[in-house]
Amino acid sequence: MADSQVLGDGTMTSEIYFDNNATTRVMPEVFEAMAPYYAELYGNPSSIHRFGNQVSEHLGQARVQVASLIGAADPVEVIFTSCGTEGDNAAIRGLLEMRPEKRQIITTQVEHPAILGLCQHLEKKGYRVTWLGVDQDGMLDLDELREALTNETALVSIMFANNETGVIFPIEQIGVIVKSRGAPFQVDAVQAAGKLPIDVKNSPVDLMTLSAHKFHGPKGVGALYVRRGLTFPPFIIGGHQERSRRAGTENVAGIVGMGKAAELALKNQKYDSVKIRALRDQLQDSLLEACPSARVNGDKVKRLPNTLNISFRYLEGESILVLLDQHGICASTGSACTAGSSEPSHVLRAMRTPADWLQGAVRFSLGRFNTEDEVRFINEKMPSIVKRLEGLSALGKLAAQERKTPGSDIPAASQQGGRL
């Protein structure tokens, strides 16, 4: 994708990509690092000849790079996978296999579908899942976690940062509580890795999942951190790859690309965070000022620097996306893994978001390549999009009229629903 540029007539020369929580553009350095492993260094890293050993050495280098990104004590704690979802499945199923007498799983109502779907499946298999709630800012009640832990707890799985709202959970505090009861602690850090400092060596986290394409690496490759000393069975059984913890010939080019992306993410993390946060805040402030029907979803401080989840009262998020797309603007209504569902976001429902705003959520997630010109372009287009949709919606017309008529009071639809 070429860099976007504003033309004299106010149009853009290419897509304005603000959907970086769904996936990111591969860095040129990453693409360059991967290329030799398709045509030149194509040996199997498990082979005993020098050609294979040469490739194996490069896998080892990538393992060191990924371990450095999360502050692991030893690169052998990193197992390469195909994606974050595989890592989550491997972590949870592996822990359950090692603790068959324990039948309780603790997680949250706002997890990614990778965890949500698996835990719902395990409920049907007889496991008892405790679903921790969140408040209206998307934050956990740690006392609820303390009360939920029992001698039957097989594991606790809680995400580092929410993929829809960007809300960051206090992983260190959570881990201390979990470890005080002797339970393993697994963390889905797919959205946090590369955006936030992570130091698993000095944390209470036992297992952590990552995905390369969330921090400008390639799709189809991820990693699972397993703390050294933790007994962990293989999820995929077969060969001896990944120290017999994940069978199957490694995706060499993808792993090398992930390693390079991890190296760049660690190097640029502080600079990127400051730059991207400033652009996100500029976008947020302008939208709130120009669109009185808008509100931000999630804690405004404890969230990822790149994420803005904003709702527009009485409107449909998908309708907003369609009109944004006509201007070449790419955003989303939530997780890419639930795209196509007509159901309101399970994250916003868990936060008890008022029904007036529930369907009108749009997620803008910024990345390394976004610019101030792109932010200005979105801010120029959004007010007219909102006004147009309000004109087509009966409730939207009421909202517009409410703003024009001092003292008018439309009954809030938020009173219709309870906690889900």
CA-closest candidate to residue 30, choices 195, 220, 194, 264: 264
Task: Give the pLDDT mean for 168-172.
Answer: 98
Q: Please confirm, yes or no, whether 119 is among the known catalytic residues.
A: no
Q: SS3 for 310?
A: strand
More confident residue, 418 or 159: 159
In the chain, what are the domain boundaries? Answer: 16-26+269-416, 28-265
Q: SS3 for 227?
A: coil
Task: Give the pLDDT mean for 140-152.
Answer: 98
In which band, very low, low, confident or very high, does the pLDDT at 392 lie, cut at 50, 70 and 90? confident
CA separation for the pair 123, 110 (Å, rounded): 17
Tens-digit pLDDT profile for residues 190-238:
999 999 999 999 999 999 999 999 999 999 999 999 999 998 899 899 9
More confident residue, 412 or 213: 213
CA separation for the pair 116, 120 (Å, rounded): 6
Torsion of CA 305, 306, 307, 312, to 10 degrees: 110
Question: Could you give the C-alpha distances from 321 to 25, 133, 192, 214, 381, in angstroms and in order?
Answer: 20, 29, 25, 21, 12
Query: For the whole model, what pTM was predicted?
Result: 0.90
% pLDDT > 90, the chain: 86
Question: Could you give the C-alpha distances from 316 to 136, 300, 313, 366, 392, in angstroms and in order?
Answer: 21, 23, 9, 22, 11
Same CATH fold assignment for domains 16-26+269-416 and 28-265: no
Burial of 2 (0-12, 13-18, 19+ CB in 10 A): exposed
Task: Write the Ramachandran bin of 340: left for phi over 0, alpha for psi from -120 to 50, otherwise beta.
Answer: left
| 413 pLDDT more than 50 | no
Residue indicated by tokens 């991820």:
222
- Enumerate residues 6+ apart whose C-beta is below 8 A from 385: 320, 323, 324
User: Which of 119, 291, 330, 337 is the catalytic position?
Assistant: 337
The predicted structure's pLDDT at residue 265: 98
In degrees and rounded to multiples of 5, residue 108 shows phi and psi of -115, 165
| 278 pLDDT more than 60 | yes
Task: Give the pLDDT mean for 171-188.
Answer: 98
Tens-digit pLDDT profile for residues 304-357:
999 999 999 999 999 999 999 999 999 999 655 555 556 789 999 999 999 999
pLDDT, mean over the chain: 91
Give the end-to-end CA distance of the chain in Å, rounded to a whole number.
40
- Fold type of domain 28-265: Aspartate Aminotransferase; domain 2 (3.40.640)
Class of domain 16-26+269-416: alpha beta
In which band, very low, low, confident or very high, does the pLDDT at 151 lie, cut at 50, 70 and 90? very high
| 3 pLDDT more than 70 | no
The predicted structure's pLDDT at residue 263: 98
In degrees and rounded to multiples of 5, residue 7 shows phi and psi of -90, 175
CA separation for the pair 365, 329 (Å, rounded): 12
